[in-house]
């Protein structure tokens, strides 16, 4: 039992959090590319992605695994994104830092998703049983290139919003 749940229930919670994090993260990234903040989607993305990384440490283990290293990196990147967004309110350079860290957090979640797909989907596992074969490497390289391009475009397009009258009055 993990946190009062069976291992299969805990795994289901972890997977659902991850999928919600990826889906909401894609919405957030499209918002960034369109120059929109999408506050509700952003909160959902950050919360579920943090929860995904944290729950990843809940599975039994006896030594530090590559998935734990990715989880640690993800939590550091998410901390930066949360600080940039909520503590520094995207002011100045924090806007670009937020974009880079948020898209990086999404990339890490997708990276793990690709790893899991190659472990769990029989057709993919047959193509790359050890995850060192070309199909796995090409898939991960394609994901990385796509996220680098998205990060660059989002950093350019997600500009400062004009100050609204209500914000000026406050």
CA 66 – CA 42 distance, rounded (Å): 27
Do 167 and 37 touch, CB atoms closer than 8 A?
Answer: no
Give me the pLDDT at residue 119, please.
95
Q: pTM above 0.85?
A: yes
**80-126 residue pLDDT tens:** 999 999 999 999 999 999 999 999 999 999 999 999 999 999 999 99
Whole-angstrom distance, CA of residue 78 vs CA of residue 158: 18
pLDDT at site 45: 98
Tell me what the pLDDT averaged over the chain comes to.
92
Amino acid 1: pLDDT: 66
3-state secondary structure the chain: CECCECHHHHHHHHHHHHHHHHHHHHHHHHHHHCCCCCHHHHHHHHHHHHHHHHHHCCCCCCCCCHHHHHHHHHHHHHHHHHHHHHHCCCCCCHHHHHHHHHHHHHHHHHHHHHHHHHHHCHHHHHHCCCCCCHHHHHHHHHHHHHHHHHHHHHHHHCCCCCCCHHHHHC
| Cα–Cα distance for residue pair 8/85, rounded to 1 Å | 34
Q: Please check whether residue 150 is in contact with residue 103, taking contact to mean a CB–CB distance below 8 angstroms.
A: yes
| pLDDT over 70, % of the chain | 93
Which is more confidently placed, 168 or 49? 49
- For range 155-167, the mean pLDDT: 67
Contacts of 18 (CB under 8 A, 6+ apart): 48, 52, 109, 112, 113
Residue 165 has pLDDT above 50, yes or no: no
Q: pLDDT value at position 161?
A: 60
């Amino acid at each position: 039992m993990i946190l009062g749940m069976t291992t299969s229930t805990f795994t289901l919670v972890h997977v659902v959090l991850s999928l919600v994090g990826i889906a909401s993260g894609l919405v957030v990234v499209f918002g960034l590319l369109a120059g929109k903040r999408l506050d509700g989607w952003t909160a959902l993305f950050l919360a579920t992605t943090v929860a995904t990384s944290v729950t990843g440490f809940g599975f039994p283990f006896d030594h530090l695994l590559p998935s734990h290293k990715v989880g640690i990196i993800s939590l550091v990147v998410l901390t930066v994104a949360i600080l940039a967004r909520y503590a520094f309110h995207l002011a100045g350079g924090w806007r670009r830092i937020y974009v880079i860290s948020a898209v990086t957090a999404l990339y890490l979640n997708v990276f793990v998703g690709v790893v899991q797909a190659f472990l769990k989907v029989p057709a993919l596992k047959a193509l790359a049983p050890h995850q060192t074969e070309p199909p796995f490497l090409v898939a991960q390289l394609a994901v990385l290139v796509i996220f680098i391009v998205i990060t660059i475009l989002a950093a350019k397009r997600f500009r400062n919003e004009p100050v609204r009258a209500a914000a000026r009055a406050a």
